[in-house]
Structure 1
Amino acid sequence: MSESDDGGATLPDDLAGVRRRLIDWYEADHREHPWRETDDPYAILVSEIMSQQTQLDRVVDAWRDFLDRWPTVESLANAARGDVVSFWSDHSLGYNNRAKYLHEAAGQIVDDYGGEFPETPAELQELMGVGPYTANAVASFAFNNGDAVVDTNVKRVLYRAFDIPDDDTEFERVAGELMPEGKSRVWNNAIMELGGVACGKTPRCDVAGCPWREWCHAYETGDFTAPDVPTQPSFEGSRRQFRGRVIETLGEYDELGLDELGPRIRVDYTPDGDHGREWLRGLLNDLSDDGLVDLTDREETMVVSLRE
């Protein structure tokens, strides 16, 4: 094992072998997500935004439907924002502000970049709603021009395989050292696949034919502990579900008063109850702050409409 120059975590001496094994394993067999079959940055950006905190089995059909409706970044930029948000809600993608940001990012690409996608992680982060992880993923998968991706799955792999301490700086350093130069597209796909298929919370080392068993500290010691992984919050009955119902309902009406909207989004709505006007106002204030709805005080009630 070789030690880093600053005395940090160690990696195997045979880094070339480590890299080759993982890439060969991935290229021999991997999950067939449709966005892996393209290098179109627009399609990849849509997949990355949709996949944030949303289960992949809900993303595939939504991604295809979205691209059928808005096949280019120009068509999305020219769409009505309310239509994009309603689509998001109809497909149970949650967190409707992501639809708003994606729509605004499309406008930036058309207006500020002449319809040409920026190609580096730093440039991509200038787009609305695109953080470091998403920017790096798009740069990697569309342009083969990214840095090493470090998500929850990658951290779990590095922690177990090479006994890397649970420290973000070390994860970033080791991930960067492992990635072969000029191969961010295949490498980032491969290491995330390893974490998703072979090195999940319950490891499947032998069943999945993990290519790193020869070097893996956890496989050698039998200690498969890993950093805590946040669980996906339940969608049914959640605040984001009711936010989605508000957007979906308002897509059918020009405007609604509180007591007209309330029963349409939850069956137990009672104006003065626990899930009544006060609860609904809080939900709508959040949506207004996110730029998704307009609230107008009219006589003795509040009227709600989708923001254009």
Structure 2
Amino acid sequence: MTDVDAADAADSAGDSPLPPDLDLDAVREALIEWYEADHRPFPWRQTDDAYEIHVSEVMSQQTQLDRVVSAWEDFRERWPTVEDLADADRSDVVAFWTDHSLGYNNRAKYLHEAAGQVVDDYGGEYPETPDELEELMGVGPYTANAVASFAFNTGNAVVDTNVERVTYRAFDVPDDDDAFEAGAQELMPEGKSRVWNNAIMELGGVACGKKPRCDEASCPWREWCHAYQTGDFTAPDVPTQPSFEGSRRQFRGRIVRLLGEHDEMDLDTLGHRIRVDYTPDGEHGQEWLRGLLSDLADDGLVQIKERKEQTTARLQ
């Protein structure tokens, strides 16, 4: 989308969410110069390989980036190409995900299936546009746009919580999804999605976090920033993530980890291994465990076998 297109889109949706007197050229130049002078050297920023970027984007979902680095490097060492991942046993990929505490295991399943699509449907070469990338399993609009931006420089403006917080504070953009999309797109210079999206997310991660570090991080937008001028550093509402400890997600992960170590386990043995207060007829008993296994089966991660005298589970 060109600057003219962005302006037209903003006009069609109403007034631009950005201040009318904002010098876009100066704002863009200041941010890019700040980013290029110094930024966190995450390894996926050193590559334009779509496969490596895809892996990093999936791993980074709701996971601190510092924790992702070692997992990403281990993953790349084990499955260095998209062909290697497509040929891998899915249970090995899921077990890796669990061992590295990378969140929902179905992300590993989708990543594995997407690799197969890239190999089978695209000859091992990733498609280059956000719309095409969304055809891959588990790839939504945000991930598609990020891969297009960082691998091919063909993306639109990325909008994540960092970008929302930055544009809300700096340019008083309303706390509204459409406004954030329009404002972010209007800010991004044409044909520079790779450097721009990296830069604005870096700004949100380093200078304009929950606790702002405007002067310490030499924020390049201080002269235009509404929050810096007023001292009001409130931020858009961000949904609170539920606690992991004691959650269904935690026990799903324990199940996958155990089944990765055993060919097959019966219901009660599995239950006693994942929580100390498991009792077959209790609150956290067979009915509770069957619910977890059913969820995992729906995700294509676990196979449940009902026999006459015993129910067992194994990884798909």
Q: TM-score with structure 2 length normalisation?
A: 0.93
On the 8 A contact 2:48/2:151 being kept in 1, the answer is yes
Could you say which residue in structure 2 is the equivalent of 1:278?
A: 287
Matched, 1:7 2:52: no
- Higher mean C-alpha displacement, 142-151 vs 231-240: 231-240
Could you say which residue in structure 1 is the equivalent of 2:132?
A: 123
Could you say which residue in structure 1 is the equivalent of 2:164?
A: 155
Q: Displacement of 1:233 after TM fit?
A: 3.7
On the 8 A contact 2:48/2:152 being kept in 1, the answer is yes
Could you say which residue in structure 1 is the equivalent of 2:304?
A: 295
Corresponding residue SS for 2:261: coil
Corresponding residue SS for 1:251: helix
Could you say which residue in structure 1 is the equivalent of 2:70?
A: 61
The whole-number CA distance in structure 2 between the counterparts of 1:101 and 1:62 is 17
Match of 2:112 among 88, 103, 115: 103
- Higher mean C-alpha displacement, 185-194 vs 230-239: 230-239
Could you say which residue in structure 2 is the equivalent of 1:52?
A: 61
- Percentage of matched positions with identical amino acids: 76
Corresponding residue SS for 1:160: helix
Match of 2:202 among 193, 210, 235: 193
Could you say which residue in structure 1 is the equivalent of 2:228?
A: 219
Letter in structure 2 aligned against 1:123: E
The whole-number CA distance in structure 2 between the counterparts of 1:259 and 1:13 is 64
Q: Displacement of 1:180 after TM fit?
A: 0.5
- Higher mean C-alpha displacement, 209-218 vs 252-261: 252-261
- Higher mean C-alpha displacement, 250-259 vs 106-115: 250-259
What are the superposed Cα offsets for residues 57-98 of structure 1, whole Å, 9 maximum, x if unpaired?
Answer: 321111111110000000000011111111111111120000
Q: TM-score with structure 1 length normalisation?
A: 0.96
Q: Displacement of 1:232 after TM fit?
A: 4.1
The whole-number CA distance in structure 1 between the counterparts of 2:236 and 2:57 is 23
Corresponding residue SS for 2:88: coil
What are the superposed Cα offsets for residues 98-139 of structure 1, whole Å, 9 maximum, x if unpaired?
Answer: 000000000000000000110000000000000000000000
Match of 1:175 among 177, 180, 184: 184
Corresponding residue SS for 1:119: coil
Could you say which residue in structure 1 is the equivalent of 2:262?
A: 253
Corresponding residue SS for 2:306: strand
On the 8 A contact 2:164/2:180 being kept in 1, the answer is yes
Aligned residue-pair number: 305
Q: Which runs of 5+ in 1 are unaligned?
A: none
Q: Displacement of 1:298 after TM fit?
A: 1.0
On the 8 A contact 2:145/2:156 being kept in 1, the answer is yes
What are the superposed Cα offsets for residues 162-183 of structure 1, whole Å, 9 maximum, x if unpaired?
Answer: 1111111111111111101111
Match of 2:278 among 269, 274, 291: 269
On the 8 A contact 2:16/2:182 being kept in 1, the answer is no
Match of 2:122 among 110, 113, 117: 113
Match of 1:17 among 17, 23, 26: 26
Corresponding residue SS for 1:296: strand
The whole-number CA distance in structure 2 between the counterparts of 1:142 and 1:252 is 36
Q: Displacement of 1:267 after TM fit?
A: 2.1
On the 8 A contact 2:79/2:85 being kept in 1, the answer is yes
Letter in structure 1 aligned against 2:137: M
Q: Displacement of 1:43 after TM fit?
A: 0.4
Letter in structure 2 aligned against 1:240: R
The whole-number CA distance in structure 1 between the counterparts of 2:221 and 2:182 is 19
What are the superposed Cα offsets for residues 129-164 of structure 1, whole Å, 9 maximum, x if unpaired?
Answer: 000000000000011110000111101111111111
What are the superposed Cα offsets for residues 16-74 of structure 1, whole Å, 9 maximum, x if unpaired?
Answer: 11000000111111111111111110000000001112222321111111110000000
On the 8 A contact 2:162/2:205 being kept in 1, the answer is yes
Corresponding residue SS for 1:146: coil
Matched, 1:88 2:93: no
Q: Displacement of 1:208 after TM fit?
A: 1.0
Q: Which runs of 5+ in 2 are unaligned?
A: 1-6
